[in-house]
Amino acid sequence: MARQLPAHLSHKSALALLPSSSITAPIEAVRRVHDKHFARWPPHINLLYPFLASPSETIEQGATSTSQLKESIRTRISKVTRNIAPFHVSLSAELPGTFSHSQRSKTVWLGPSTQSIQQLQADFQAEFSECNADQRPFTPHLSMGQAGSEQGALLLREEIKKSVRELTTVKEELPMALDWYVDKVFVIERTGYKDRFKIVGTIELGKE
């Protein structure tokens, strides 16, 4: 169970970057096997997590209902995104990163090549200063899976390389990387802790 948070924050919502569908095939091929959070999270890079509690509101449309981002939150996000131009990111598969939680607990991840994500996150952190539950330095990453040892982490890194090589059009002589044009940010939310996150808001970069 997630640790107790202030009432205004929740582990059931996040402000995140979601990669283009054009690069998710090799990511999901690995995550499906190795990521214990595969069913709950889409591939993502979190910018703010935990995020604000209940960021969406239910809109009744006849016999159906949908969830959409609250306008007050959209306005605050747009305040940041209107000043940020879209940018390119390259997720290198040559040397995936590893978080070592203990000798028997590792998380293997792909990291972006650009500092633009750090700046984007810093701008959001300044706007949403109340989202301060995570005091760790920000390390942008896309989690690929977990391993129970250093050797397991090494094997997972090799599997990531293999997946990128087999499921993309990367040429043999080029570095293995997944290129991604970041032009929007997403607010995602889940109903319960075991439910899958769904998009409740999409805000484009560089737009008023």
Domains and CATH numbers, the chain: 9-204 (3.90.1140.10)
Q: How far apart are CA 92 and CA 114, in angstroms?
A: 11
Average pLDDT over residues 149-174: 85
Q: Residue 181: which pLDDT band, with cuts at 50, 70 and 90?
A: very high
Give the per-residue pLDDT at 95: 86
Of the two residues 139 and 174, the one the predictor is more confident about is 139
* Nearest residue to 167 via CA among 28, 37, 7: 28
Helix or strand holding residue 125 (H, E): helix 116-127
Average pLDDT over residues 73-87: 97
Give the per-residue pLDDT at 199: 97
Q: Residue 1: which pLDDT band, with cuts at 50, 70 and 90?
A: very low
Task: Report the mean per-residue pLDDT for the chain.
Answer: 92
CA dist 101 → 70, 72, 105, 140 (Å): 36, 37, 5, 17
Of the two residues 1 and 108, the one the predictor is more confident about is 108
CB-count burial class (<10 Å; 0-12, 13-18, 19+) for 196? middle
pLDDT surpassing 50 at residue 186: yes
Give the per-residue pLDDT at 170: 56
21 φ, ψ (degrees, to nearest 5): -60, -20
Average pLDDT over residues 167-181: 75
Give the per-residue pLDDT at 177: 87
Question: What's the predicted TM-score (pTM) here?
Answer: 0.93
pLDDT surpassing 80 at residue 65: no
Give the per-residue pLDDT at 116: 95
